Chain A
Amino acid sequence: MKPLALFKSELDGFLKELSRDYDIFGPKRQKKGYLDWGEIEGLSDLDLSPGVTKTSIKSFFLPQPEVLFEFSTRAREERAFRLKEPKCPDRKRVLFGVRPCDARSIYLNSMPYKDDCYFQKNIERNIVIGLFCKAHLSTCFCTWVGGSPTSTDGMDIGVYELEDSFIFLPFSQRGQEFLRDKGLREIGQKEEEQIDAYKNHAPEGISEGVDIAKEFSQKSLFDLYDARFWQEVTDPCLNCGTCTFLCPTCYCFDIQDEVLRGKGRRIRYWDSCMFPLFTLHASGHNPRGEKVKRVRNRFMHKLKYFPDRFGPISCVGCGRCVRDCPVSIDIRQVIRQFLEI
């Protein structure tokens, strides 16, 4: 399929047309001034400024909370204590303007969630329209961790923003079908040239030719685990959940039953390895009872355990944790320290 094009002036109409069949979400300027995901009805809602949104794309795939099933606790009811499938909204969603880092997180999270029916249902429900980056922030480091400003991982469709137009390219079967009847025109000669010359303002790599996923999987787990730098990394940490909750690839959850007046639901909600209850056992024992062990787990999971098991590093370099950590703990520094081991 050839790339399709849309003049910038046509985007508003395109989105309005789309909103008949889909709920559209995209980066939107919030009252407090930052960009975050919001519902889009037309062009005026959308803000495609460089950089990532405050929170990540993950709440569309791992909702906070996800209802796993519902039940009644009224013993007199016929269907008491029988599990009911939660209602799933019929309308599909379009996620517009997803940056390559966020899109890559969907691809990475799909590995541990391969057989998770809830996650897969959300994959089916969301059409991911990515937006390649032509500028990056000082906190961006996608090129360190296997991504790039034009990475297509996790995208159904990718969009180049040119001077006067948007160019749409499908990267999945679903993306192709989606684009088929949307009234987009074929790409022009000039536009094709513009794509070729699309300036790749990639963040500088960590160092030429170093594949850190490979490097880290060759390192001894015990050497990293017992490294001397952990105490200093941990000292300033507040053990809050900012990094893990803003992170697109932090996917840990906890499960709870909520029952109110005979109506119950089992929910799955975000957990964080920074929290003291994260691995608390029923016996009272906690293998990660101290701050330093929790901080170490966060980085070891992303940089060592995950690549050992699945291949790539479980970080997309979006820089949200770097940007919003209240005490400036920087995963890029930890990566450098890993390389020195």
Chain B
Amino acid sequence: MSTINEKITTEIRKVAKELLEKDEVAAFLGYTEGTVPMVMKPFVARRPEDVEKLFWNSFCVLNLANYLPLVLQSLEPPRRPNDPLPEGPLPRVGVLATGCWSRNMVVQIKENQIERERVIIVGISSRGMVDRKKVQAQVDHLEITEVIEEDHKLIVKGPGFTKEINRWDVVRDNCKSCVHPDPVIYDEVIGDFSGGRQVPKRFGDIQEIEDMDIEERWKWFQEEISSCIRCYACRNACPLCYCPTCFVDDSRPQWVGKSIDKTDTALFHILRAFHCAGRCTDCGACESACPMGIRMRLFTKKLYKDCMELYGFEPGLRIDEPLPLTTFKLEDPQDYILQQGQKGEEK
């Protein structure tokens, strides 16, 4: 057993219990154990006794910010769509937040999806979450029936084998290249903050793709999405995707075909990525949720890089900073705008 996780779990339960008992919050959003190894289950504790079910380990890969709007809404008194909000303060929700999750909460606050006053953010510095697909690859995709996590290694068991894996070797790519593991907004803190991380090649994976020529890159993209079954787990795991009707679901007008036609699937992934530009915090929930192992995070990370290079902006770091795509500055780079007859060229 990992002493680090054990400590954090105990702390989470203590904080959650206190918040629920003192009626500071009506619900507490955390994680509980799943029924298969390496999959954790987001969990809403509504009563103080529920907190015993809360757990923390390296497999908390989904972004809890994603659940916040719905949980908050579920606590409001029922009303019809056009009725005004009831007067007085509404019930609050406590929520765990690592660096990227808290940054997504900043984005949600700025985009009016949640109200700061209604969330009590319990910050945890992230040590990097583990990619279960990487663990599976380490044991040649044999069935894994048990995974015991220690502080720096995983002990993986299956029928007829036991293998020790170095934890850092199987940490998700987005976590390995993360420089903001500490929460940026929080009301309570669990454990110590790391003070930030240095990463040698933060955009190394993107650079590799940028270095391909156009044909090669298109081939890579098509190959990457070829197994997509259009289940939209990537979209639904994402805290940025909250449109009441997504463009892929809309049928009047129909923007994109609904089956698994190659062009339609490509369009879905490209548009999904662009909708996240300047908002995505590279939390990796999309990739972790994908049943088919598609690395769609690379598409959004390219836009993350562009946004940084073009506008010097990283999403969700500061609550008082304007959003790049709703702001215009005269000195913004404009060489992507083409004149008639001009040909777009790769830089």
Contact = CB atoms under 8 A, between A and B. Distances in A.
Instruction: Kindly list the 5 A-B residue pairs having the minimum CB-CB distance in the complex, ordered from nearest.
Output: A328-B34, A241-B231, A240-B233, A326-B289, A65-B259
Nearest to A323: B36
A258 interface: yes
6 contacts: A238-B289, A239-B236, A242-B233, A328-B34, A328-B41, A333-B35
A10 interface: no
Contact of B291 (A50, A246, A267): A246
Interface stretch (A28-36, A75-83, A173-181, A212-220): A28-36
B258 A54 contact: no
Interface of B is mostly: loop
B292 interface: yes
Contacts of A236: 41-43
A76 B132 CA distance: 58
Interface of A: 29-30, 32-34, 36, 50-51, 54-55, 64-65, 135, 137-139, 235-236, 238-242, 244-246, 254, 256, 258, 267, 269-270, 272, 275-277, 291, 322-330, 332-333
Contact of B36 (A256, A275, A277, A322): A322
Given A64-B260, A269-B259, 11 more contacts: A33-B133, A33-B141, A137-B143, A138-B36, A241-B230, A242-B233, A322-B35, A324-B291, A326-B237, A329-B41, A330-B36
Contact of B145 (A138, A245, A246): A138
Nearest to A65: B259
A327 B39 contact: yes
A291 B70 contact: yes
B330 interface: no
A56 B293 CA distance: 17
Contacts of B254: 256
Nearest to A235: B44
Contacts of B231: 240-242, 244-246, 272
Contact of B289 (A36, A240, A258, A270): A240
B233 A241 contact: yes
A241 B42 contact: no
Contacts of A333: 35
Nearest to B260: A64
Contacts of A241: 229-233
Given A137-B143, A245-B229, A326-B233, A269 B258 contact: yes
Contacts of B194: none
Nearest to A275: B249
Interface of B: 34-36, 39-44, 62, 66-67, 70, 133, 136-137, 141, 143, 145, 159, 227, 229-233, 235-237, 245, 249, 251, 254, 257-260, 288-289, 291-293
Nearest to A269: B259
A64 B141 CA distance: 27
Given A241-B232, A242-B233, A51 B34 contact: no
B144 to A, nearest CB: 9
Nearest to B288: A326
A54 B236 contact: no
Nearest to B294: A32
Contacts of A54: 291-292
A139 B42 contact: no
Nearest to B258: A269
Contacts of B251: 256, 277
A326 B137 contact: no
Nearest to B144: A138
Contacts of A64: 229, 259-260
Contacts of B229: 55, 64, 241, 245-246
Given A139-B36, A276-B249, A333-B35, A238 B293 contact: no
Contacts of B44: 235
A256 B133 CA distance: 36
